[in-house]
Chains A and B, each alone.
Chain A
Amino acid sequence: MNKTHNQKAWFMVLPVVLLVAFSAVIPLMTVVNYSVQDTFGNNEFFWVGLEWFEEILASNRMHDALGRQVIFTTTILLIEIPLGIFVALHMPKKSGFWSSICLVLVALPLLIPWNVVGTIWQIFGRIDIGLLGYTLDQMGIDYNYTQDSFAAWVTIIIMDVWHWTSLVVLLSYAGLKSIPDAYYQAAKIDQASRLSVFRYIELPKMKGVLLIAILLRFMDSFMIYTEPFVVTGGGPGSATTFLSIDLVKMAIGQFDLGPAAAFSLIYFLVILLISWVFYTVMVHSDKEAGL
C-alpha cells in the first residue's frame, strides 16, 4: 500500500503516546528511581548507586527463590507441552458435533479467573471437604498440603497443569489442522508408521505454533503469583515461595522499597532477555521455512 508522507499524522498518534507515557513509562522510571536510593525514613532519600543490586544478587534468599522458580518452570514445561501435544493429536479431526463439544470443554479451565482457580484447588485439596483430599485420605496416603512441602509442590504443579494444558492443546490443535491433507496421503503411499508420520510431518509443521506455546507457558509460569499464593501463601515455611511471591513479600510485607525495586528490575530484564531469545529463534526459523 502506498503510504503518503504527512507529518500531521503525529496528532493521531499523540493520545497513545501520552497515555503510554503516563501509565507505563513514569511508573517504570519511579521504580528505577527507588532502586538506586536509600531512605532515612520520613521520605528523605539519598543516592547509593548500585548497592541494592549487589545486595540482591548476592542474597541467599533470592537464590533460593530463583532455584525454586527454575525447578517449577522446568517441571511445568516438561509436563504440559508433551501432554498438550498428545491430547491435541487425539482430538476429533472432523469439524462436527463432537469436535465442538471437545473444544468447549477443553477450553473451560482457561476461562476461570486465576484466584478462583486457586480457591477451587485450595478446597479441592482439603482432607475434610475436598474430593481430592478425601480420596487420598481414604486410600491411606498421607496428604496435607499446608504442612508437607512435597504435597504443596504436587498440588501447585497439578493445579497449573489443570489450568494451562488446554492452552497448549488448543494451539497445537490449530497447528495440526493447518497441515494439508496431501502430506498424510503421501505418507500413506510410503506406508509410513504412525510414529514416523508424527516425527517427519506433524512435528516440523507445528514448530512455529509450538514455539509460541513454549514462550507463553514459560513467561506465564515464570511470573506466576495468584495461584500459588491463594493455595499455600508461600508454602509451609518458604517451600513454595517463588520469585514473584518473594518480591511482593519484600515490597509490601517488609516495605523494603530499595531492594524490592532492584529485584523487580532484574526480574523484568531476565524475562525480557529470554523472550528476546525466543523471538529471535522464532523469526530465524520462520526465515528458514521460507515464510
Chain B
Amino acid sequence: MISLLAKLLSVLNSDTKPSQIALAIALALLVGFNGVVSSIGLLVILLLFVVRCNLTIFLAFTAVFAVFGKLFSFLTHLIGEAVLTTEGLQSLLTDLYQTYWFRLDELNNTVEMGDLIFSVAAFVPVYFISIIIVNKYRISLMGFANKFKVVQTLKASKFYRIYAATQS
C-alpha cells in the first residue's frame, strides 16, 4: 500500500503530462464502475495499448472507483431505474436489448445501467477536474512531496528508470 502510494506520488511528481494522468483517472472511472469484463471495460483495455496514459494511476484508480461503484450502487440503481423505465426510451431500449452487447453487459439491470450512465457522464468532468487537480498539486505540493525520502528512493530505482523509458 505504501509502495503504491509512493508510486502515485512519484508519478505525480514526475514530468508525466497532467492530461495523461487525467486520462488514466477518467478511464479508471469507466473500468472501475463497469468492470473489466464488459464492453466498455474491454474498449478501455484496447485504448490503454493505443493511447498514452499513466498505467500506475489507471490501476490504482480502477480499484478506487470499483469500491466507489459498490458504495454508490444505491445511487446508480436510481439512475438506472429512471432511465430504463422512461416511457420515451422504451422503444430505443427494446431495440438495444436485441443486441448481444447490451445483454452481455446486463444493461437491463438498473445498477449496471446506472453505472454506465454515471461513469460515461462523469468521464469528461473527471478528466478536466483531474487535470486541474494535478496542475494545482504540482504547483503547490510537489516540492513538499519530493522531500519524502521514499519518493527519492523510488525515483532512483531501476524499475522507475525502466518505467520512465517506456513512457517516452
Indicate, yes or no, whether A interacts with B. no
